[in-house]
Chains A and B, each alone.
Chain A
Amino acid sequence: MPQWAMVIDLTRCTGCAGCQVACRAENATPPGITWARMEYFEAGTYPNVLRVSLPALCMQCREPPCERVCPSGATYIREDGIVMIDPELCIGCRACMIACPYGARYYYEEERTYFPGHVTPYEQRRSRSFQVGTVSKCDFCAHRIDTGLARGLTPGVDPEATPACVLNCWCNARFFGDLDDPMSEVARLVASGQAIQLKPDAGTEPKVYYLLPGRNVVVRQHEFRGPASLPREFSREG
């Protein structure tokens, strides 16, 4: 069985958020639900500072904490390693949203459409996936992978079988493929030892990897200040 994985090269990413738009167009996620989202932040101290654009999505962990806390079995791991949610089984307890270290899960609290009182063709297309009162998340465009494989295509190589965010990345910052196939681009990038996982301490073993331009500044846990203390933080120290 293949193990689908993604490598995102942050040295190439321009932060255009094309992945976010492509995901929304492909999956018709309701307003407020952004499976593939962009995060922008700054690191370092003056004059050595860096503005980072980080495309984030479900990390498709090998040890998904969301699956462990799910009381109804709605979250499950497919044989190809994709973490899925069965909206028919989800009871909407949101324990998975508490458990996910990456904020990859979204709760569909109430019926929302982009244009009130009007459902666009995009929204009609995958409306079954969004049940009110359940949780949803990125599934590596599993429908594209499945239909592509059925047609004999190779995900990560053939556009029809590849996740929409990868296709739409005009910087070629996203790579998708089978981690178990040593010839695939993702397997070679991961094997290079340069690819890192987010929050490795959480023990989740993500299958989404990032290529960073080097290793000088570590965003440490005790250094982060949430908006809780934003006013204080705006008066920069040093």
Chain B
Amino acid sequence: MRVEVLRDEAQQTVWGWKIAAYLFGAGMGAGAYAAGAATALLPGWGSASEARVYMAVGTATVLASVPLLVWDLGRPERFLRVLLKVRRSWLSRGAWILLLFGALAVTTLVLGVPRWLAGLSLAAAVAVALYTGLLMGSMVARPLWNSPILPVLFLVSAFSTGLALVRLVSIAASNGSAGASLPAPSLLPSVEVGLLATETLVLYFYLAIAYLRIRTPVESLLYGHLAPTFWLGVVGIGLIIPLVLQIGRVHLAGSAAARVELLADACLLAGGFLLRYVLLRAGVRGPAYLGAPFVIRPEV
């Protein structure tokens, strides 16, 4: 039995590009910050000064994304009310997480990077990257989003875009100051390749499992009206091109390698935004009468 639905939202339009940009920016900033904290904590990732630059870039990106959320409100002047009551809403929790992250990040930058503080702020950055996935993943009304894999996807994408951002910044900085101040560490590109491969896998499993639950939104991504953005933008520009460029870059040296890396990172970032955008757009609700048992009495 098939049902035709004539009056339903073709795509999710309640939350638009501002929310997508926030999801992207906050995730990317949190990922960049996490890359900084990891650089401070792990041996072989880079110097303490690099760690500080990464953390500063991450903090600035997260803080610059928050105004997008306020701008998207119907009543921006009332945004502080989110913090007046402690509620079980993920929006409310997210506001507290952002506040906590902001406080920790600024403290870390002022105090330098002691190990314990770096660990603590790493946890806060992970919370910033995760909570948006939990917020969308807990929406039962949106079958495409309502998945425990969505927070994982957002987290992996936050790490990959964050890493791409700090690589872009360090390459730009090393070009600007005669290549001396911020040498790009050799470990990060291989981490980036690993993250991209993981993201591809997570995206596959996310969509495959979502397809078992509800077909329409997944179909709109795979061969519906969102397919061009999904295949060209998210998969092509966001995953395949950066992967190929990062792997092929090994054979290049000097400024050519830096240019290829620049292109790879820029593509990765564009794909990161488009991933959030198409997932937001595809998150349709389905008509109110889904699942209702209707009777058909054949004429005798």
Assess whether A71 is in contact with B3, with CB atoms less than 8 Å apart.
Answer: no
Neighbouring A residues of B142 by C-beta, 8 Å: 98
Assess whether B89 is in contact with A70, with CB atoms less than 8 Å apart.
Answer: yes
Q: How long is the Cα–Cα vector from A186 to B217 in the complex, in angstroms?
A: 37
| Residues 66-104 of A contacting B (Cβ, < 8 Å) | 68-73, 89-95, 97-104
Name the distance in Å between A201's Cβ and chain B's nearest Cβ: 6
Q: How large is the interface on B (under 10, 10 to 19, 20 to 34, 35 or more residues)?
A: 35 or more
Tell me how many residue pairs across A and B have CB atoms closer than 8 Å.
Answer: 230
| Residues 39-82 of A contacting B (Cβ, < 8 Å) | 39-45, 47-50, 52, 54, 56, 65, 68-73
Assess whether B295 is in contact with A50, with CB atoms less than 8 Å apart.
Answer: yes
Assess whether B82 is in contact with A196, with CB atoms less than 8 Å apart.
Answer: no
> Does residue B205 face the partner (Cβ distance < 8 Å to A)?
no
Interface-lining segment among A120-128, A139-147, A174-182, A208-216? A208-216
Interface-lining segment among A14-22, A23-31, A159-167, A226-234? A226-234
Assess whether B5 is in contact with A133, with CB atoms less than 8 Å apart.
Answer: no
> Does residue B162 face the partner (Cβ distance < 8 Å to A)?
no
Neighbouring A residues of B219 by C-beta, 8 Å: 228-229
Q: How long is the Cα–Cα vector from A217 to B293 in the complex, in angstroms?
A: 5
Contact with A along B196-235 (1 / 0, CB 8 A): 0000000000000000011111011000111000000000
Neighbouring A residues of B288 by C-beta, 8 Å: 39, 54, 56, 101-104, 198-199
> Does residue A225 face the partner (Cβ distance < 8 Å to B)?
yes
> Does residue A109 face the partner (Cβ distance < 8 Å to B)?
yes
> Does residue B81 face the partner (Cβ distance < 8 Å to A)?
yes
| Residues 245-300 of B contacting A (Cβ, < 8 Å) | 283-298
> Contacts A70-B87, A134-B74 given: A41-B14 contact, CB under 8 Å?
no
Assess whether B285 is in contact with A71, with CB atoms less than 8 Å apart.
Answer: no
Q: How long is the Cα–Cα vector from A203 to B140 in the complex, in angstroms?
A: 9
| Residues 2-33 of B contacting A (Cβ, < 8 Å) | 2-12, 14-15
Assess whether A228 is in contact with B10, with CB atoms less than 8 Å apart.
Answer: yes
> Does residue B90 face the partner (Cβ distance < 8 Å to A)?
yes
Neighbouring A residues of B89 by C-beta, 8 Å: 68-71, 95
Assess whether B295 is in contact with A212, with CB atoms less than 8 Å apart.
Answer: yes
Contact of B3 among A56, A196, A219 (CB under 8 A): A219
Contact of A43 among B3, B14, B220, B225 (CB under 8 A): B3
Q: How long is the Cα–Cα vector from A203 to B139 in the complex, in angstroms?
A: 12
Name the distance in Å between A204's Cβ and chain B's nearest Cβ: 8
Assess whether A237 is in contact with B213, with CB atoms less than 8 Å apart.
Answer: no
B residues lining the A interface (CB < 8 Å) = 1-12, 14-15, 72-75, 78-79, 81-82, 84-85, 87-92, 95, 135, 139-143, 213-217, 219-220, 224-226, 283-298
A residues lining the B interface (CB < 8 Å) = 39-45, 47-50, 52, 54, 56, 65, 68-73, 89-95, 97-104, 107-109, 131-135, 196, 198-203, 210, 212-229, 233, 237
Given A109-B74, A216-B294, 10 other A-B contacts at CB below 8 A? Answer: A41-B4, A45-B2, A100-B141, A101-B288, A107-B14, A214-B297, A222-B215, A224-B5, A228-B10, A228-B217
